A and B are shown apart, each in its own frame.
Chain A
Amino acid sequence: MNRGYYWLVIALSIPAFIWLVPTLWMVSLSFQPNDVLARTTSSTAFGLVPLPFTADNYAALFTFGQTPWWFLNSLIVSLGMTLGVLAVSTTAGYALARLDFPFKRTILVICLVGLMVPEQAVFIPLYTMFADLGWHNSYHALILPRMAVPIGVFLMLQFFRAIPQDIEEAARLDGVGWLRIFWYIMLPLARPAMMTLAILTFLYAWNDYLWPLVSAQQREYFTITLGLASIQSNFAQSEGLGRVMASGVIASLPVVILFLIFQRYVVQAMTAGGSKG
């Protein structure tokens, strides 16, 4: 480590700090009293230090607000979607990677084409379809449309392809069925890939905005992302800046914690998701 390196770290710390400031500011504002914020947002050090300090915003959030409920919804939807995507993608990915059957190439091509269809291009027909079925304002309406993501299948397919053939062949010689091989041999091996896919899906589900916006009109089924959008659209009349910011902090907490714990996987997930889909 030479002097150049330390200079580099210092030089990079400045933009890194600037990068952190908006988030820091949100956290700091959430700990300041609303009546102070109504007058000025820069009490101490441009408002970056929460003085005067209060935790009332969080208390109020948990006493009156819908935020905890929305939070729970987000958790249900995100976990549901993650499990669903994992189930659908691992099975299909394995079949496409390791098994022989007619029309395999056709199915692969159809999946590839599906990669090109963005959510935004199908949300209207999906909306009318779910309306006809009377499915809106439910958890399955929030979960189902994103189950069939070809990206997950491709991710798993690539992983399964890389597993050496001989493991499977040994099991075949022992007369083990394909489903058992999948369940007892392949799935345990696929854990890292599944982790990657799970994180990718969870982040997507937690942060999705457009679909919940059109599908959920009842507050019971708002996700935290949607709920947050609904309270920021009328700042002037809302309960105060501090409380809105506190909701923002609560909404971000799980994904930030998830990220800090599983940083390595998140980065892998982003790299894999990024370069393929």
Chain B
Amino acid sequence: MHASFINYRNYRYGFSALALCLGAVLAYVIDARREAQSGGTWLGYTLGTVAAVLIVYLALYGVRRRSFRSPSGSASGWLSAHIYLGVATLCIAALHCAFEFGRNVHTAAFVLLLLVVVSGGWGVYVYARYPGLISRQRGNLSRETLLEQLSKLDGRARALASTLDNRIQALVDHAIRRTHLGGGVWEQLRGRDLSAILIPDAGRGAAFAQIVSNEGQHVLIQRLAQEHAAAHDATFDARLQELLEVAGEKAVLVGKLQKDIQLQGLLQFWLYLHLPLCFGLLAALLIHVLAVFFYW
């Protein structure tokens, strides 16, 4: 049945990466007895070459992702290898430089590698955790279905409000028009409800209005509840009650959609760090290699 990229073929690449790291550590420990380790020793160059090859291989995942006719194994296998070998590369690169760091382009390359691996690790965490959260909180429904439900609820609220007085009609209409979903990157990631509502400005008289936050449809529900409490006509009362229920349902639905947008945003956000860092790493690696051979 379904096998995730983490336990792909019973952790095949996890064990390969572990073996690679153990081999490198063993070689490092043995060779350290013979001579002081640095990037310039025989083992240093070997480990550096292995790490550079691994980095190029890891970057090729981006190419494999876009070659849909590729006979070179499944994308999930590649991703699994990408993750485990990525962590192994960090270990090998650290052994390659024998933990010597300074203010130079070589360390810059290592730091970039570290950032790439850390951002990738964040990616693994969100890929492993968020799909389940998203699926659970959506409750078997797609985002499109939730949006359809929202538009139906708005339609019902408008229809109900149209049978009540103008004030309530305006209130409902403003609440619908100022319901806020999504927004810019930051707004999506924060997932706060920025819905607003236009209400009469009590301090300045009936002709003035002000926009206030309607987070969780709170103000709309409160105002409708006030109207409800003050109503005396039975039909009016029943419709208001229904409108209140619709507003309550909408609050839950808007919350669900906002959470969905936030989780989807977080699911993708790490890539916007990981990819530029990858390109930075490749550039730094190239400079590092050229510099090493130039000063050889």
Q: Please say whether chains A and B are actual partners in one complex.
A: no
